[in-house]
Structure 1
Amino acid sequence: MTAGPLSGIRLLEMDAIGPVPLCGMILSGLGAEIVRICRPGGQQAWSDVGDAVLLRGRTNVELNLKSEADRATLLDLVERADGLIEGARPGVMERLGLGPEDCFARNPRLVYGRATGWGQEGPLRLTAGHDINYIAMTGALHAIAQADQPPTVPLNLVGDYAGGTMFLALGMVSALLSAKTTGKGQVVDAAMVDGVSNLLSLFHAFTATGLWLDRPASNLLDGAAPFYRCYACKDGGHVAVGALEPQFFAQLLAGMGIAAERYDQNDRMQWPAMIAEFTTVFLSRTRDEWEAQFADTDACLSPVLSMGEAMDHPANRARAMFIEHNGVKQAAPAPRFSATPGEVRVSAALSAAEVLEAWSKV
C-alpha cells in the first residue's frame, strides 16, 4: 500500500486521555509514525480499551518520567522527532523538565502540541474539567436541548473530539508545514473552549443578524422546525428528517402522503400543527419501512441507526466506512486521499533504545 500523506513525519504522543489519543490515531492513519510514551507497569491511560481501536497504529515505549534517566531518554527522542503532543494540565511538563523550552533547546524545529480544556492561559487553566464543562462554558451545551428540558449530553464528541482533537490535528499539521519552510518549531495551544467556540461560528453569525434566538428548541437547526428533527416510528425506531430546502420539503410531504398546498414551510405559526401531523404519520410505519419509502429521493430522511447497525448498513458497507482490525470493527482512516491512502498499522511495543536506533538511521 502507498504510504499515507504524513509518511516520514515522526511524532511523540504522551500518554493521556481526552483529545490526544484520538489525534494520535488519526495522524497515524494518515501515515505519521507515532511513538506513544506510556507509563511503566501497565498504568497507561485507556489501557482498559486495548490497542485495537483508539490506540491503534502506535509504537509503544514505556518510560518512567519520574526518573532522570528516562527523562533524558525522552529528550533524546525529542531531538529526532518532528513533533510532540501532550494533554497534561498546564505546568506539568515544565515541572518534569520536558516543557516547550526544554524541548526546543534540543530540537528547535519541534512542533509542540498541547491539548487542554481551558487553554494554557486564563483563570480556569488549572481547574479540572471534562467535555461537558467545556461545552457548557462556550454556549454550545445550552443550545442542545429540547424546550423546558435540561440540555442533552452529546457524548464527548463536541468538546474532546471536535473542539479538541480536530483543532489539535489541524494545528499540528499547520505548524509542521511552517517548520518545514522556516526551520523553526512552535507551540500549538489547542484549547477545547477555543475549538468549540469556532465551531459555533455559524450560530454567532445567525445571532448577530437576528436569525437565531439564544434559547433552546427555538430555531431552524435545533429541533424546533418540523422538517429538521427526529420522529418516532411504529416499531420504536426513529427517523431523522432534514428537508430544509423547499424542493426537499415538497418531496418529504409527497412521501408522507400530505398535499403540497397543506403547509407553508416557513410559516412558524404552522409549525406546531405540522409537528403534530408528522408525529402521527411517522408512527404509522416502522423505521425501515420509512427508509424504503424515501429511498432514491431527496427528501433528506434517514434512519437513526445504532452504532452496530451503522457498521452493517449497505450504504456504509459500499463506502467501506468500517474496517476490521485486530478482530474489532471500527472506522477506516479518514479523510481519504487519491494518491496516498491511509492505513492502519500494527501496534508494537519497543524499547526507547530500539526507537532511537531506528530514528538515527534516517
Structure 2
Amino acid sequence: MTYTTVNGPAPLEGITVLDFSRLLPGPYATMLMVQLGARVIKIEEPGKGDYVRFFPPVEDGVSWKYRWLNRGKESVAIDLKKPEGQELARALAKKCDVLMEGFRPGVMKRLGLDYDTLADTNPGLIYCAITGYGQTGPYRDRVGHDFNYAAVAGVLAMAGPAGQPPTPAGVQIGDLGGGAMMAVTSVLAALLQRGKTGRGQYLDVSMTDGLVSWLSYNIADYFATGQEPQPGARQLGGDFACYRAYQTKDGKYIAVGAVENHFWHNLCAALGKPEYTELQYAPYPQQQVVVDWLTETFLQRDRDAWLAELSSLEACVTPVNSLGDVVRDPQVQERGLFREAADGAPWVRFPVPMSGLDQAPVAHAQSDAASFAIGACTDGVLKEWGYTEAELTALRRAGVIA
C-alpha cells in the first residue's frame, strides 16, 4: 500500500503554543504538536530550565531525554517570580493559540497567568492544564507521579503475577497516555471547536481521569458482574497460557497473544498438542499444566529458531524486543519511524503518516548544545513581540530574562 502525501502545510502550521510545562507529560504533548507543525515556545526558568535537562545521560551539558522531548521548540528564559516576568508571559500569551502548563492547581493563578486573566485579552486562547488528579476534588493538591496515578486509577492493581506486588508498566502510561495524549486530543478538538465559535476554553486534564478512561474492558466487566479482576484469573493479564511471555533457550523471550480460539488451536497443533485447544481458558490448576508445557517447550530452542517456525503461523507469536531490537526491527524500519534530521541527530516521526509532516519544524531543527541552551531564543521571540534591544538589555540586567 502506498500513501498519497502532499508537501504542503503541516496540519498545525500557523498554530503557536506557549509551553510552561516540564518533565514528561506536557513536553511530550507539545513534542507531538511540534511534529504536527505547530510552533512551540517553551518558557523556562533562567539558570535552571526544565528539570529534564539534567537527567542522565548528558552530552555537552544537555540531557538526551531533554533533546528528544524538546527538539524544534524555542526556549525563552523568563523569571516568572518577578512581576516583570509575569507581564512578559502575559504579553506572549496574547498572540498564542494554545497554552500548556503542568503546575499544581493554583500556581498559575498566583502568577497572574490563569485562564480567566489571559482570556480577557485573548478570548481565543485554548488553555490546557495537566495535573495528576485535576483541578477539583479531594486529591487536587496531593503530590504524585505516574506510579501513583496508575495506583489510584486501578490500573496498577491489575499488573503483575499472582502473589506478588503489582509492577509498573515499562513506560509511564499515566504521564503519556492519561496525560499527554488526552491533552493533545483535547487541544485538537478545542481548536476545531474554536473554528466554529471563535472562542477558546480551559482544558482540565487529569492523568488519573485519563487512566480511568483506559479501564474500558475491565470496568465494563466489573459493572456487568460486580467482580474485580484478580491476579491469576485475568484474561489479558498474563495469567493464561495463551497470553503470556515465555523464555527461550538463549535467555530471550517470545510473546504469545493467541486470544482467539483458532489462533490458540494453530499454536497447539504446531507444537504437537492439539488436545490442549480445549484448555485455553481452563481454570487453575488445569491452566498451570498448559503454562508448564509451553514453558518447557519454548526453553528447548533459541528465540530466533522459534520465530522462524512460528512467525508465519497465524498464532500471534512475536519476539519480546529489547530497545536495540526495536531500532533494528524490519517492521519498524519499513515504517520509517526512526528518522535522521539534517544535522544527523535521531528522532522519531509522528506515528501516523500525514501530508505535510516532513515539513514540520522538528525535521529541520538543529540539535547542537547551543540550540538547546536555556533561553536560546529569548531575544528573537521577544523582538518578534515588539520588544526593543534597549528593553531587552534592561530586562536582562534586572534578571527577568536570560
For 1:359 and 1:202, the matched residues in 2 are separated by: 49
Letter in structure 2 aligned against 1:3: P
Task: Summarize the Cα distance change of 1:63–1:96 in structure 2 as closer, same or farther, 3 Å threshold.
Answer: same
For 2:346 and 2:103, the matched residues in 1 are separated by: 30
Deviates more, 1:40-49 or 1:216-225: 40-49
Distance apart, 1:76 and its partner CA:
1.3
Match for residue 318 of structure 1 among 334, 339, 353: 334
SS at match of 1:60: strand
Does residue 123 (structure 1) correspond to residue 138 (structure 2)? The answer is yes
Mapping for residues 101-140 of structure 1, pairs under 5 Å: 101-140=116-155
SS at match of 1:52: helix
For the 8 Å contact 2:261–2:277, the answer to whether it is kept is: no
CA distances 1:295-344 after superposition (whole Å, capped 9, x unpaired): 2222111111111111111221111121234555442222222x333542
For the 8 Å contact 1:145–1:217, the answer to whether it is kept is: no
What is the TM-score when the length of structure 1 is the normalising length?
0.93
Does residue 246 (structure 1) correspond to residue 261 (structure 2)? The answer is yes
- CA RMSD in angstroms comes to 2.0
Does residue 340 (structure 1) correspond to residue 346 (structure 2)? The answer is no
Deviates more, 1:42-51 or 1:140-149: 42-51
For 1:171 and 1:262, the matched residues in 2 are separated by: 46
Residue 148 of structure 1: aligned partner: 163
SS at match of 1:80: coil
Task: Summarize the Cα distance change of 1:272–1:351 in structure 2 as closer, same or farther, 3 Å threshold.
Answer: closer
For the 8 Å contact 2:186–2:203, the answer to whether it is kept is: yes
Distance apart, 1:359 and its partner CA:
6.5
Aligned-residue sequence identity (percent) comes to: 34
Distance apart, 1:238 and its partner CA:
0.6
Letter in structure 1 aligned against 2:221: F
Letter in structure 1 aligned against 2:95: R
For 1:157 and 1:44, the matched residues in 2 are separated by: 18
Task: Summarize the Cα distance change of 1:141–1:94 in structure 2 as closer, same or farther, 3 Å threshold.
Answer: same
For the 8 Å contact 2:100–2:129, the answer to whether it is kept is: yes
Residue 95 of structure 1: aligned partner: 110
For the 8 Å contact 1:73–1:352, the answer to whether it is kept is: no
Match for residue 80 of structure 1 among 95, 99, 104: 95
For 2:189 and 2:87, the matched residues in 1 are separated by: 28
For the 8 Å contact 1:212–1:219, the answer to whether it is kept is: no
Deviates more, 1:131-140 or 1:346-355: 346-355
SS at match of 1:355: helix
Residue 24 of structure 2: aligned partner: 18
Deviates more, 1:316-325 or 1:122-131: 316-325
SS at match of 2:100: strand
CA distances 1:245-285 after superposition (whole Å, capped 9, x unpaired): 12211222233x22323430243353211111000001011
Does residue 31 (structure 1) correspond to residue 37 (structure 2)? The answer is yes
Distance apart, 1:103 and its partner CA:
0.9
Q: How many residues align?
A: 358
For 1:299 and 1:318, the matched residues in 2 are separated by: 23
Mapping for residues 202-217 of structure 1, pairs under 5 Å: 202-210=217-225, 213-217=228-232
For 2:356 and 2:345, the matched residues in 1 are separated by: 24
Does residue 40 (structure 1) correspond to residue 46 (structure 2)? The answer is yes
Task: Summarize the Cα distance change of 1:98–1:262 in structure 2 as closer, same or farther, 3 Å threshold.
Answer: closer
For the 8 Å contact 1:17–1:87, the answer to whether it is kept is: no
For the 8 Å contact 1:203–1:212, the answer to whether it is kept is: no
CA distances 1:131-171 after superposition (whole Å, capped 9, x unpaired): 11111011100001200000011144221111111101111
For the 8 Å contact 2:42–2:76, the answer to whether it is kept is: yes
Residue 219 of structure 1: aligned partner: 234
Letter in structure 2 aligned against 1:261: E
For the 8 Å contact 1:88–1:116, the answer to whether it is kept is: yes
Match for residue 311 of structure 2 among 287, 295, 320: 295
Deviates more, 1:316-325 or 1:30-39: 316-325
Match for residue 355 of structure 1 among 381, 384, 396: 381
Task: Summarize the Cα distance change of 1:99–1:196 in structure 2 as closer, same or farther, 3 Å threshold.
Answer: same
For the 8 Å contact 2:97–2:126, the answer to whether it is kept is: yes
Match for residue 178 of structure 1 among 189, 193, 201: 193
For 1:243 and 1:356, the matched residues in 2 are separated by: 57
Letter in structure 2 aligned against 1:315: Q
Letter in structure 1 aligned against 2:19: E
For the 8 Å contact 1:112–1:187, the answer to whether it is kept is: yes
> Structure 1, unaligned stretches of length 5 or more?
none
Distance apart, 1:358 and its partner CA:
4.3
For 1:126 and 1:262, the matched residues in 2 are separated by: 52
SS at match of 2:41: strand
Residue 275 of structure 2: aligned partner: 261
Residue 322 of structure 2: aligned partner: 306
For the 8 Å contact 1:263–1:274, the answer to whether it is kept is: no
For 1:133 and 1:266, the matched residues in 2 are separated by: 32
Letter in structure 2 aligned against 1:195: G
For the 8 Å contact 2:19–2:41, the answer to whether it is kept is: yes
For 1:201 and 1:322, the matched residues in 2 are separated by: 31
For 1:181 and 1:276, the matched residues in 2 are separated by: 59
